[in-house]
Structures are given as C-alpha cells and as structure tokens.
C-alpha cells in the first residue's frame, strides 16, 4: 500500500481575466510531493511558476479563476474547497512560502522580530514574551548574527541576504510540513545565494519538511532536489528524478535551459548561449507544441498538435524527444 502524498496537485488551471482576454497562466498542471522530499520547478520568467505556487497557497488576486475540477490536496484535504478562514489556519501553520523579494514581502514598518512574533502568537498561541524568545532562536538557526539585537531592526537596516534569512525564519516559525521557496535568491550575490540555498536544504533535512524550490536556473536545483519539473507556457513539459533528468533529458526546452548556464571552463568573453525567440502569448497561444516556434528540432507535426505529458517515471511532452529514433541525440 502506498502512502498518501503530502501535496497532490491535479489538473490545475489558473486563468486571469484581462481587458485583452483570458490569460492561461497555469494550464493543466499535475504533480505530487511526498513528506520530506524536495521538488524543483524550473522555467523562464512568465512560464507560470509563481502563479502555480500562489494558487497552491490560495494567494490569488480577484481577477484569477480556478475551475472547480482543479484540485489541490494537502495531506488528503482539498484546499480548493476551504473557506478563507479555514485556509488561514493551514497557510502559515502547515504550509508556508518564501517570496522572491524580501524587501517587498516584509512589512517595512514592523521590526523583523515583531513579524516573527505575529506569526507565532496567531498560529501557535504563544505569549509575546515566549514568541520573542522563539524569534531569537529562529534568527540564530537561520544564521543571523547578533540575533537578540537584530530582532529589533527594521528590514531596511539589513542587507538583502539578511532580509531573506528573516523571511525564512518567518516561514519556518510554525514548523510547516510544506515550504515553498519562490526564487529565494533573486538579486543576491552569488556567495549569498549559495548560503541561502544551503540553509534551506539544511532546514529541510532537520525538520523533515517537503520543499518546493522554484527557480529559472537548472544549476540551482541540480544537487538540491529529488525531482525536477520543467515548466513552459503554463504547463509541465518534462518531469523526472533529478539524476535521471540530468543524465538523459528528453525535452528540447530542458536542453536549451541547460545550454544557457555559464560554465567555469569556458574562456573569458565566451558569448552566452541564449534561447532564440520569445515565450508564447498566453492569451492566444499558437497551435501545436508551445515551444515549437523556438525549437531547433521542430517539425511540421510539432506545429499542428500539442503533445501530452506522458511517461512512466520520466514524463515529457514532445513529439520528437532527444534520443528517440525520430529525434536528435540526447
């Protein structure tokens, strides 16, 4: 008998009503995540990664629409059927999210410690004194120096890396079972990026959390995830265990993302490899495979009919995958 996954997303669609028409930001995404496991979601800006995360968390604007058939099952409970009051009891307590820019996600008129205290008193019922002591412990756990002093600092008094550590401390404060990190290293120095990613992995292992790591960089998830889902134009186009995906990737878009990563072995001034063209318009996407206009391997059938995501263990949506008899070498 197989255990129920902690998170199961089933045929998720998230559309936005705009003056120009309906934007299909997430267009039929399904995946599951077990307790204590890490899933990387990778893709270019605008592919739907952040909207997917916000849909799971129930943090969508008023012009968003999610059809009733779409389901988000958390610990066997369908979050789509919960009231806002019921969802607030889950969000922050059982599942938490780290946003891209800590300067905009943190409250600029509250001290960093007060923002941790607020979460602990609301969800955990701690007294303000006990919550403050816990905030100092959390600041210590995420590597903030002089934590007893930093809890009284405002976000603008901290560096970008320290602000991101505060955001992580807030997310971890109620010991959630699921943590979603949406581009947690955006605009940070390379060395600080590595520190933040190492911190997330260490906290994930120590707390046995499930972790969703969202990024545009395959290099970020290479050694830090159990499984990777590659998104393009609102859909997952390839999904596999991390070791399998890097050893035998099948979708041309995954290959293009990997080729665009700078390599230390390249000589100075080596031009970066880019993906030609632009992502498709999500209001009126072209027929066929959404990546076909930018794919160097595309054939006529790729432009006529969209391939379905299929495969046992290693799923991909491509008519001529890398390494197949009709496709290019992997």
Structure tokens at 95: 């599942």
- Whether the predicted pLDDT of 282 surpasses 50: yes
Please, are residues 65 and 253 in contact by the beta-carbon 8 Å criterion?
Answer: no
Answer whether residue 123 shows pLDDT above 50: yes
Which CATH class name applies to 1-82+216-330? alpha beta
Its pTM stands at: 0.93
Number of other CB atoms surrounding residue 28 within 10 Å: 15
Round to whole Å and give the CA distance between 72 and 9.
5
pLDDT of residue 191: 85
| Helix, strand or coil, per DSSP, at residue 137 | helix
Does 144 score more than 70 pLDDT?
yes
Average pLDDT, the chain: 92
Percent of the chain whose predicted confidence (pLDDT) is above 70: 98
Reported as a single tens digit per residue, the pLDDT across 165-201 is 999 999 999 999 999 999 998 778 888 888 989 999 9
Q: What confidence tier does 1 reach under pLDDT thresholds 50, 70, 90?
A: very low
Q: Which helix (H) or strand (E) holds 104?
A: helix 102-105
| N- to C-terminal Cα separation, the chain | 36
CB 71 within 8 A of CB 259: no
pLDDT digits over 82-113, tens only?
998 999 889 989 999 998 877 788 999 999 99
């Amino acid at each position: 008998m197989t255990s129920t996954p902690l998170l199961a997303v089933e045929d998720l669609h998230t559309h936005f009503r705009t003056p120009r028409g309906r934007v299909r930001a997430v267009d039929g995404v399904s995946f599951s995540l077990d307790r204590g496991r890490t899933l990387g979601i990778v893709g270019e800006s605008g592919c739907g990664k952040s909207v997917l995360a916000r849909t799971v968390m129930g943090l969508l604007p008023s012009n968003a629409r999610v059809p009733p058939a779409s389901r988000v099952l958390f610990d066997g409970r369908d979050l789509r059927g919960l009231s806002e009051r019921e969802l607030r009891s889950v969000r922050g307590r059982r599942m938490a999210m780290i946003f891209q820019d800590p300067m905009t996600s943190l409250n600029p008129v509250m001290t960093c410690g007060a923002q941790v205290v607020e979460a602990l008193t609301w969800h955990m019922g701690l007294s303000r004194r006990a919550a403050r002591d816990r905030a100092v412990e959390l600041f210590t756990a995420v590597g903030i120096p002089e934590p007893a002093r930093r809890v009284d600092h405002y976000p603008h008094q901290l560096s970008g890396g320290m602000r991101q550590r505060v955001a992580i401390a807030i997310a971890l404060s109620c010991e959630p079972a699921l943590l979603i990190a949406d581009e947690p290293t955006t605009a940070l120095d390379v060395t600080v990026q590595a520190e933040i990613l190492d911190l997330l992995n260490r906290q994930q292992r120590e707390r046995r959390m499930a972790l969703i790591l969202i990024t545009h960089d395959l290099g970020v998830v290479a050694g830090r995830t159990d499984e990777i889902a590659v998104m393009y134009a609102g859909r997952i186009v390839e999904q596999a265990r991390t070791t399998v995906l890097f050893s035998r990737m099948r979708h041309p878009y995954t290959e293009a993302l990997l080729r665009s990563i700078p390599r230390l072995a390249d000589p100075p001034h080596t031009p970066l490899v880019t993906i030609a063209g632009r992502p498709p318009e999500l209001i009126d996407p072209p027929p066929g495979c959404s990546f076909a206009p930018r794919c160097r391997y595309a054939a006529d059938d790729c432009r006529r009919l969209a391939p379905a995501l299929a495969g046992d263990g290693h799923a991909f949506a491509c008519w001529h995958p890398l390494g197949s008899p009709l496709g290019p070498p992997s």
